[in-house]
Amino acid sequence: MATVIDGRKLAKELNQQTKERVAKLASRGIQPGIVVILVGEDPASVIYTRNKQRKAEKLGIKSILKKFPADVDQVTVMAAVDQYNHDDTIDAILVQEPLPDQLDGQAITNAIRPDKDIDGLHPTNLGKLYANQPGNYPVACTPRGVMTMLHHHHVELAGKNATIVGRSILVGKPMAALLNNANATTTLASRHTRDLAAATRQADILVVAAGSPHLIKAEDVKPGAVVIDVGINRLSSGKLTGDVDFEHVQDVASLITPVPGGVGPMTIASLMQQTVDLAEWRHNGQK
């Protein structure tokens, strides 16, 4: 029976550390600030954005929600990014996905100042991560939170096989880069992968971010594997469930995250942690 990672507890501990760092910055007259740019009224985005705001305020981080109607044009969003790029009270700029079709999300991402790019999506930050450059730069918060969980549970990574299912820029690719930088042998699988079970069964560390409920069954998992479930799917019953068949996979894995209460809370806690990082790096002139 696998040990179940308590993401809520870990997130609470991390948030406590973040709060203390915010207090230290306050004594220097600095308050970290994050702006979330939200376009339209996508219900999941509205909820997620609200959660981020509440958490930020609770930790003493300045939080701004910049809302645009669903039919906003590119120039208007780009002007807002430019404004926050130059706003000294803002350390972190987050553009909530998904964006409506008329917007060029990539141009918006590339316009964010790399040192305010809280999601680590700017090519300069992603490239530094992929190159395993030393120094300070933001990394996507979900994979960062996963690394914190693995570290907390003393999961050995060097020389181990890590398979990542799903290759988004926000999760799969930075996750693969982080695991590779930790000297794991990484396999990046996607919906194109023909024999997904072969790719997952070789994994000592399996990270699933496919957005497909119960995609991974017990027989797809190597006995003793560490299984990290990034999926959050809402079933027709209203119940939240992951990409992993938790009930059965927990009999095979050695360590596993639940949904909800696993990766989710750690993502928001890592977002707060990194907002404070960005504030510290910028105010200390670190690179």
Q: How far apart are CA 287 and CA 282, in angstroms?
A: 8
Say whether residue 49 binds a copy of itself (CB under 8 A): no
Strand order in the sheet with 62-68: 62-68, 33-39, 92-95
Residues between 98 and 117 with contacts to a copy of itself, criterion CB under 8 A: 106
Residue at 187: amino acid letter: T
| Residue 239 annotated to the active site | no
167 is in an annotated binding site: yes
Which position among 158, 236, 238, 285 is part of the footprint of a copy of itself (CB under 8 A)? Answer: 158
Residue at 59: amino acid letter: L
118 is in an annotated binding site: no
The one segment of 121-129, 217-225, 236-244, 248-256 that binds a copy of itself by CB under 8 A: 121-129
Task: Report how far apart, in Å, the C-alpha atoms of 232 and of each of 12, 43, 63, 108, 213 are.
Answer: 20, 15, 25, 26, 8
Q: Are 67 and 50 in contact (CB under 8 A)?
A: no
Q: Closer CB to a copy of itself, residue 172 or residue 258?
A: 172
Q: Which of 55, 62, 96, 173 is catalytic?
A: 96
Q: Minimum distance between the CB of residue 219 and a copy of itself, rounded to whole angstroms? A: 18
User: Who's near 248: CB < 8 A, 6+ residues apart?
Assistant: 217, 218
| Residue 24 annotated to the active site | no
Q: Minimum distance between the CB of residue 246 and a copy of itself, rounded to whole angstroms? A: 25
Q: Closer CB to a copy of itself, residue 93 or residue 121?
A: 121
Plot region of 3 (φ>0 → left; ψ -120 to 50 → alpha; else → beta): beta
> Hey, what's the torsion of the CAs at 8, 58, 273, 152, to 10 degrees?
-20
Per-residue contact string for residues 169-208; x = within reach of a copy of itself by CB under 8 A? x---x--xx--x--xxxxxxxx-xxx---xx--x------
Binding-site ranges for a copy of itself (CB under 8 A): 106, 121-131, 133, 158-161, 167, 169, 173, 176-177, 180, 183-190, 192-194, 198-199, 202
